[in-house]
Amino acid sequence: MTSARPVPLRVAYDAAHGGRWTSLHGGGREWLWRGPQPGRHRVRPDDAFVDAGGLEECLPTVRGEPDHGEVWSRPWRSVGPGTVVVERPTFTLTRRITDEGGVVVADYGLAADPGYRFVWAAHALLGLSPDAHLDAPAGTPTRLHPEAAALLPPGSWPVGDPWLTGPWPAPAGLTLDTFGADDGTALGAVLLDCARVQVIDGTDRLTLELECADQPRSTALWRNLGGWPADAPYRSLGVEPMLGAAFDLADAGPSDAAVVPAAGEVTWRLTISAHRTH
């Protein structure tokens, strides 16, 4: 019988550059991919996104304006051990990360006026082999975003709609749970009401779990197999715990975004653990 043992993880981040997670390491493996685009350290607020890899904090949107949100391009301020804060005119975001016991726990708090709507994603780009796959509950409603239209039969995409929804792992017939070799495609998807997933790569497993009361929780997927960007494509694979259900806050319907309640604060927790089978 195959058994799995815990693999302790250690995390590192760069508060001065958007709170970006720069390392998620354990068992001789670095889970976070490093991107090819230079200039991440020269980014100024509202600059175009620089795909440096790691895990970027995206809030209050992922796509849309500003691209990847407001906080990834701004310096965060340290306020205690493992704790950083970024302040904007409409919200304040605080994050505390610990990795005691080898499990990474990130606790977040967003303070804003009641009724403030937002999308948050832990935009984690992972270094995975072509054999890796994503384990999520079968049948999970999954939203394909418009770049997937080119991979479907002509006329399949609903005209004027921001997404097409189908069941995991193959919405609209596109198999998404395997990553595979580069094939020149790139697409984004959102697994709705899916707060826990596992990435399985050989004998290694990475589990990502999101806890948040009374808010929509999803997992976003970015599967770029050498299909983006058009001028110089490369491979990048994102598995992204998310509050909300849409990449772009502008597309989010009444139940597709997180909403600050009357108390003026939303808190949530992201837990990441690793195991190895033997």
The pLDDT value given to residue 90: 98
- Rounded Cα gap, residues 135 and 233, in angstroms: 26
Low-confidence ranges of the chain (pLDDT < 70): 1
The pLDDT value given to residue 69: 98
Neighbouring C-beta atoms of residue 209, cutoff 10 Å: 16
The pLDDT value given to residue 122: 98
State how far the alpha carbon of 54 is from the alpha carbons of 13, 74, 100, 153, in Å.
9, 16, 21, 34
The pLDDT value given to residue 188: 97
The pLDDT value given to residue 1: 57
The pLDDT value given to residue 36: 85
Asked if 165 contacts 142 with a C-beta cutoff of 8 angstroms, the reply is: yes
The pLDDT value given to residue 37: 87
State how far the alpha carbon of 48 is from the alpha carbons of 45, 139, 201, 255, in Å.
9, 36, 32, 29
